[in-house]
Amino acid sequence: MKGRASLGFALFAGISSVLLAVASNAQSGGEQRAVNLRIYGPGELSVSQYEVVGRPWIDSWRTAFWLPTFPSADQAIEALKTEAASRGAEGLVNVFCLDEGHWAWSTDKGPAYLCYGTAIRVRPSRG
């Protein structure tokens, strides 16, 4: 019985390390693409000019328990861009940031910014 448990643990550890390496590699690629990711303002694109890739931070079950916050709005926007780029987005629309603050019992009383947006891929123009 102990042999099966240790084999199961070894298998679990191996799979976990492979998944962690893949996620780390994907994240670094997303950070590189985030530099080129554009934030579109109101009226720059009509709805027919793009397709929605996703809604970072919102379209996951994890948001019921945790939302990523950052000490400045700039850092929060960069994180949003990185997450959108990792999903294959070329841009963001409807971006806004909120200072979420901290819970009353938190020792950190500094700002806690959370930025939302819609990750998009621009459709090729029909010329």
pTM, entire model: 0.68
Q: Where are the domains of the chain?
A: 2-122
Homologous superfamily, domain 2-122: Hypothetical protein apc22750. Chain B (3.30.110.70)
d(CA 40, CA 53): 15
Identify the pLDDT of residue 110.
79
Query: 55-67, pLDDT tens digit by residue?
Result: 998 888 888 888 8
- How many CA atoms lie within 13 Å of 20's alpha carbon, on the beta-carbon side? 6
Question: Does residue 26 surpass a pLDDT of 70?
Answer: no
Q: 80: buried, middle or exposed (CB in 10 Å: 19+, 13-18, 0-12)?
A: buried
Residue 86's alpha-carbon distances to 3, 47, 70, 92, 127, in angstroms, are 40, 22, 19, 13, 29
Identify the pLDDT of residue 75.
96
Tokens of 67: 């939302």
